Amino acid sequence: MRNRIVCLAVTAVFLSSAAFAQMSGGKPSPPASASCDLGGGKTVKTDYSSPRMRGRKIYGDLVPYDQVWRTGANEASTFVTNTDPLVGGKRVPAGSYTIFTVPGRDSWKLIINKKTGEWGIPYKYESDELARVDMKVSKLPSPVENFTISYEKTADGCVMHLDWETTRASVDIKP
Q: Please check whether residue 145 lies inside any domain of the structure.
A: yes
The answer on pLDDT for 68 being more than 50 is yes
The answer on pLDDT for 129 being more than 80 is yes
Distance CA 25, CA 55 (A): 22
Q: Please check whether residue 19 lies inside any domain of the structure.
A: no
β-pair type (108-113, 129-154): antiparallel
Q: Please check whether residue 62 lies inside any domain of the structure.
A: yes
Q: Please check whether residue 8 lies inside any domain of the structure.
A: no
The answer on pLDDT for 115 being more than 80 is yes
Query: For residue 133, what are the domain limits?
Result: 27-174
**% residues pLDDT > 70 (the chain):** 85
Domain count, the chain: 1
pTM of the model: 0.84
Q: Which residues contact 111 (CB under 8 A, 6 or more apart)?
A: 68, 99, 100, 101, 102, 129, 131, 132
Q: Please check whether residue 7 lies inside any domain of the structure.
A: no
Q: What is the DSSP letter of 57?
A: -
Q: Please check whether residue 83 lies inside any domain of the structure.
A: yes
Q: Please check whether residue 16 lies inside any domain of the structure.
A: no
Average pLDDT on 66-79 reads 96
Q: Please check whether residue 81 lies inside any domain of the structure.
A: yes
* pLDDT at residue 119, rounded to an integer: 86
**% residues pLDDT > 90 (the chain):** 81
144-174 residue pLDDT tens: 999 999 999 999 999 999 999 999 999 999 9
Residues 139-149 as b/e (b if ≥16 CB within 10 A, e otherwise) read eeeeebeebbb
User: Is the Cα torsion angle 143, 149, 150, 155 positive or negative in sign?
Assistant: positive
Q: What is the DSSP letter of 148?
A: E
Average pLDDT on 117-145 reads 94
Mean of the per-residue pLDDT values of the chain? 88
Residue 12: φ, ψ to 5°: -60, -45
